[in-house]
Structure 1
């Protein structure tokens, strides 16, 4: 039985990859290029504009698709108006076909609509492994039909050689920087591509010659056509040294990347030689060159220019470091300035085994303080300044006795560059803008090393903020001294140097006499200049905690380590300090002292507790013993917040002093971690910390550690630096992950800091393609458009009237300024009274055509249990709020506890 003619035509069109009704030409919304099909438009946007999501062709629609089928499906619901200026005949023959390369390497070529499920979908994506790399490109079938069809020529080539070359180069940059493949592996991939392209050319030439001969074309003309055709293949030419821009070797690829991409070459820093004569090297990345590249991005420039109009708040609310007294003092010197916040920390590659410590690396990073807090907290906004091995920062015996300032020697080139940028500035819109270092953040050990303070926290004077003796603190932990001043610091340096000089002279004389006696007795004479014990004492010499050599960073203009230069480390002081020591003893009291439950019960409840939403990313870990709370700072933070839901029913006496101490500690954490806080709340926090330290001295005196003393300074430090969470060091430490991955993937620790710096700069160059500043609203799947009939009556009546439903979609989730919002999570809306809250459950998200976001919320009263959490009480009305009008932007999940839906705050609220 013969098929109906219309069905037969449909099948043939489907097999040929030809659209039955191509409709109007597709106009790229970014560059206004005319594309002939959805496939061509999708590939053009991915390759030319290097985006992971492609916007709808309709200029009034904000939908973005990550795959071509999703875009085609959406366009059936969002049709385009025909363009009468485009000849319809040109649009009839434009299909696509699939080209698969060996070894799962997808070479340029979009897929047919009939691609089976096990074949990679068209359009490039960022693959998880280099064995599944996809790059778009027009199919041979499509091009052949366009060339042979009669009528006017098709639209301009959407893939000119320059675009193809840039795509090839971007592909190799991603292999080096994003997938962190060793250069040798990338070279193997390059050689395979070269071989496959040769095979492909051979097959295509044979077919082309055969077809041209069948048309009766002369042999000389055939040879000319074939040669010209295949010499125009940019991918082949780049891999076979037939182009000025070549990628056939490691050297040529690196050379081309540095010429064509925003790549800053790492600079080698010679740090002398070790005791065996081997050179000690570090590698830094020019901050000036990096900033100049960033300022080419209009969004980065706009963000920096916008910060120049900022004025510190006068309403008594601290929202960022710009509201602290330290920044207010800085404004008196520079009204317009590019602010840098530095961070330094050491990280280990091999925490176990014989190589432990050998390749431990110190990384110095920085963020641009002019960016909004939500941008500064993103890992890709944290930039590299310096990498060196930690052991290269240690002085040898002779260097120490000669008074060598190793810190100055290592960072001298970096400090000089910062001085130059502060005096000469960078050009922004024709104006010279100085670049200044505001703070140097880090963990306590690193901050003490940078500030030239004692690095032993068992010393009597181990606080960089004040010269208080730790013994005095343990007697009266609620007290603290006035903060150090630059003048006091400089005086301590002089006094410490006097002590060091006297001890050095004495040690040299004693050791010289000892060597003379050894020579007289015929014994083996020591080769050292002083004894090991004397050298240890010399290294630890200090006066009131300050070492004999002033910090090298004090030479920076308007910067001093004792003038707000070294902020506190919230993560290590609180979550890996006070909580780590106090909370474990509180739990030990419940288990061994009161015997309300055992360790197995506690661990079972921890492991079976189902954390939700963002809490699941940092779920607490089980406790193996009473040495401390395991896990990193964010996991401990989650554990403190959710502990009442895990064990409150096991606490038989709610008036137990240890349980009340935990609740007090939890409240302190909420205030300390607040992203915005009133000055009056800072005074209340000061009272809470004093009360907490008094209680600790009373029932847990062994938990009074130096970090407990650092906590005592927090109210004063908040007034100086603003909310301490804005300088949260754990975000910086996340940058270590990339460099650890480099060391693991490359399997080579020879000159490891150079390898890490180069891989980072490849990643930096790759990231710049999409820009450093993302839009405020990022929606991966905008969902379908909604109308009034799609909404519940309560939601419809809560909308502002009249409401325009044109191009309104309802996504299930989206990101706003880096925070993920989705349905069925709760937002803090207001206070119900002095102690209770009004919260709202997100029932629907509405994304408007101007990319503004409305949250449809069902309000509830959240009553304070005074047991560390709130529980939902009566249901209120449905309300609609603009997402940017919420008083707090941290979604909270609810947990079923005691038969009620409960939530635990992540931080205190400004209106409480």
Structure 2
């Protein structure tokens, strides 16, 4: 591709296919693999049969697909078109014609469908059914009342989980009538919702917590090699515990798919960057139009035209802004709590100088409000939390200002960090880019009797 720079210079850039993002069905279809997940060889990453993956808990024990055996199976398919059940390949992948790409070495994990709409729903049903109907630790009415009344905070209230019907827990399928975003919210906050009703070290509760540990790494936006190795053994322990607790239930294909996550993380980095959630959200507009437009002749053309009109409007009416806030207030530097921090960071500013602040602002698309919690740093493998008090604006740069909290420990039973306000206030003053994690959190409390400390649940693991 030829690119013309502002100074008139022409440069040529060449690119190649690096990664294909798809859900499980799409990945199998593009790769030429069987599109039925009841087939014997249903995995597009390895040659483990449906029977063998019941006892294969780590990818090291699997025979991986590669260029050589892929070509061998294609040759066998040419000689005998009925050989599909022997290897799970039904046609050649056209993308393999690329010099630098091969479908067997570029994995496309689908963490949205594997975990949020697969294992998460299945495990929630099984564990909740055990806790409610077998162990009788609490009732379905208590669970639904807490789901309804829990304060999820500004960021998560839009993904508030639906209540759970009693009959749903008795059905053997994995449908919980919640969307993927609702399941992500439910899995994150379920320990705070009912953790006080469950004894510590309860076996079925440990299974749920094990899945949360896996999710922390899988949904992380920064990955280390150590995290990949740790994830491999987490998944192994998770499968072992599941099979010991539910002897009459076989592992489903999505149990097998996640054993390849550690290798995928090593190859392509954080796999949350290629999950299905984003293009599912993109497809929502088309599905919405298809449901309201009375056009039965060429609905695809109509959707494409409407999409282009909407996209054109967005590009021309919006600008990429570093921050956006509706209301500002002016204040003298000497009147602020953090005047020493401000004067230290900006030597050219005087105490009589005027600055602007706001209680809420959107910074690069993420909204921050007074009262929210942010992770400012890490110390001794524990995140340091700070409560936002306001957002200051210096020139065109927003700074988040607030008061630090003391992180006491990580409570495994609630899968949350226990924090409290220190006796002596410690202030922080930081740019969004310097936060350890840009996701703001909300003050959440569990239902345990002791409420002197607050618990915070992270969306993902932080290095």
2:212 alignment counterpart? 666
1:551 alignment counterpart? 93
Question: Take 2:44 and 2:204, find their aligned partners in 1: how far apart are those partners?
Answer: 31
1:844 alignment counterpart? 390
The answer to whether the aligner puts 1:560 opposite 2:98 as a matched pair is: no
The answer to whether the aligner puts 1:576 opposite 2:117 as a matched pair is: yes
Quick check: 2:360–2:369 contact (8 Å CA) kept in 1? yes
Question: CA RMSD of the aligned region, Å?
Answer: 2.0
Give deviations 1:279-327, integer Å, cap 9, x for gaps: xxxxxxxxxxxxxxxxxxxxxxxxxxxxxxxxxxxxxxxxxxxxxxxxx
Q: Which of these two proteins has the greater Rg computed from alpha carbons?
A: 1
Aligned CA distance change for structure 1 residues 556 and 602 (closer, same or farther; 3 Å): same
2:431 alignment counterpart? 882
Q: Please show how residues 431-580 of structure 1 align to structure 2 within 5 Å.
A: 431-478=11-58, 480-500=61-81, 503=82, 541-547=84-90, 549-564=91-106, 566-580=107-121
Question: Take 1:665 and 1:814, find their aligned partners in 2: how far apart are those partners?
Answer: 34
Aligned CA distance change for structure 1 residues 431 and 482 (closer, same or farther; 3 Å): farther
- CA drift of 1:435 comes to 4.3
**Which secondary structure does the structure 1 equivalent of 2:155 belong to?**
helix
Aligned CA distance change for structure 1 residues 861 and 757 (closer, same or farther; 3 Å): same
Give deviations 1:113-140, integer Å, cap 9, x for gaps: xxxxxxxxxxxxxxxxxxxxxxxxxxxx
Question: Take 1:482 and 1:860, find their aligned partners in 2: how far apart are those partners?
Answer: 49
Aligned CA distance change for structure 1 residues 597 and 473 (closer, same or farther; 3 Å): same
Which of 307, 320, 330 lines up with 1:785 in the alignment? Answer: 330
Unmatched segments (≥5 aa) in structure 2: none
Question: Take 1:658 and 1:803, find their aligned partners in 2: how far apart are those partners?
Answer: 60
2:259 alignment counterpart? 712
- CA drift of 1:494 comes to 1.7
Higher mean alpha-carbon deviation, 698-707 vs 426-435, is at 426-435
**Which secondary structure does the structure 2 equivalent of 1:907 belong to?**
coil
2:203 alignment counterpart? 657
1:17 alignment counterpart? none
1:170 alignment counterpart? none
Quick check: 2:333–2:355 contact (8 Å CA) kept in 1? no
- CA drift of 1:677 comes to 1.7
Q: Please show how residues 93-242 of structure 1 align to structure 2 within 5 Å.
A: none
- CA drift of 1:436 comes to 3.3
Quick check: 2:401–2:427 contact (8 Å CA) kept in 1? yes
The answer to whether the aligner puts 1:857 opposite 2:402 as a matched pair is: yes
Question: Take 2:99 and 2:343, find their aligned partners in 1: how far apart are those partners?
Answer: 54
The answer to whether the aligner puts 1:620 opposite 2:161 as a matched pair is: yes
Q: Please show how residues 346-365 of structure 1 align to structure 2 within 5 Å.
A: none
2:138 alignment counterpart? 597
The answer to whether the aligner puts 1:904 opposite 2:445 as a matched pair is: no
- CA drift of 1:790 comes to 3.7
- CA drift of 1:707 comes to 0.7
- CA drift of 1:594 comes to 0.3
**Which secondary structure does the structure 2 equivalent of 1:829 belong to?**
strand
2:341 alignment counterpart? 798
Which of 754, 758, 763 lines up with 2:301 in the alignment? Answer: 754
| TM score, norm. by length of structure 2 | 0.89
- CA drift of 1:647 comes to 0.5
Quick check: 2:214–2:235 contact (8 Å CA) kept in 1? yes
Q: Please show how residues 59-458 of structure 1 align to structure 2 within 5 Å.
A: 425-429=1-5, 430-458=10-38
1:646 alignment counterpart? 193
Give deviations 1:818-851, integer Å, cap 9, x for gaps: 22212111111223434x43210011211111x2
Question: Take 2:349 and 2:88, find their aligned partners in 1: how far apart are those partners?
Answer: 66
Give deviations 1:871-893, integer Å, cap 9, x for gaps: 21342511212222111111111
Quick check: 1:837–1:861 contact (8 Å CA) kept in 2? no
Q: Please show how residues 703-782 of structure 1 align to structure 2 within 5 Å.
A: 704-770=251-317, 774-775=320-321, 777-782=322-327
Which of 151, 158, 171 lines up with 1:610 in the alignment? Answer: 151
Aligned CA distance change for structure 1 residues 592 and 497 (closer, same or farther; 3 Å): farther
1:78 alignment counterpart? none
Question: Take 2:78 and 2:123, find their aligned partners in 1: how far apart are those partners?
Answer: 38
Which of 232, 235, 239 lines up with 1:686 in the alignment? Answer: 232
Question: Take 1:837 and 1:568, find their aligned partners in 2: how far apart are those partners?
Answer: 28
Quick check: 2:23–2:276 contact (8 Å CA) kept in 1? yes
**Which secondary structure does the structure 2 equivalent of 1:447 belong to?**
helix
Question: Take 1:433 and 1:770, find their aligned partners in 2: how far apart are those partners?
Answer: 31
Question: Take 1:579 and 1:428, find their aligned partners in 2: how far apart are those partners?
Answer: 49
- With a CA cutoff of 8 Å and minimum separation of 6, indicate the structure with the bigger relative contact order: 2
Quick check: 2:39–2:85 contact (8 Å CA) kept in 1? no
Give deviations 1:654-682, integer Å, cap 9, x for gaps: 12110111111111111111000211121
Quick check: 1:828–1:840 contact (8 Å CA) kept in 2? yes
- CA drift of 1:580 comes to 1.8
1:821 alignment counterpart? 368
- CA drift of 1:785 comes to 2.4
Quick check: 1:461–1:467 contact (8 Å CA) kept in 2? yes
- CA drift of 1:461 comes to 0.8
Question: Take 1:804 and 1:710, find their aligned partners in 2: how far apart are those partners?
Answer: 57
Give deviations 1:21-52, integer Å, cap 9, x for gaps: xxxxxxxxxxxxxxxxxxxxxxxxxxxxxxxx
- CA drift of 1:559 comes to 2.4
- CA drift of 1:807 comes to 6.3
Quick check: 1:467–1:544 contact (8 Å CA) kept in 2? yes
- CA drift of 1:760 comes to 1.6
Quick check: 1:578–1:703 contact (8 Å CA) kept in 2? no
- CA drift of 1:703 comes to 5.2
Quick check: 1:477–1:697 contact (8 Å CA) kept in 2? no
**Which secondary structure does the structure 2 equivalent of 1:677 belong to?**
coil
1:112 alignment counterpart? none
1:86 alignment counterpart? none
Aligned CA distance change for structure 1 residues 908 and 543 (closer, same or farther; 3 Å): same
Unmatched segments (≥5 aa) in structure 1: 1-424, 504-539
**Which secondary structure does the structure 2 equivalent of 1:837 belong to?**
strand
| TM score, norm. by length of structure 1 | 0.46
1:87 alignment counterpart? none
Question: Take 2:98 and 2:43, find their aligned partners in 1: how far apart are those partners?
Answer: 23
Aligned residue-pair number: 439
**Which secondary structure does the structure 2 equivalent of 1:561 belong to?**
coil
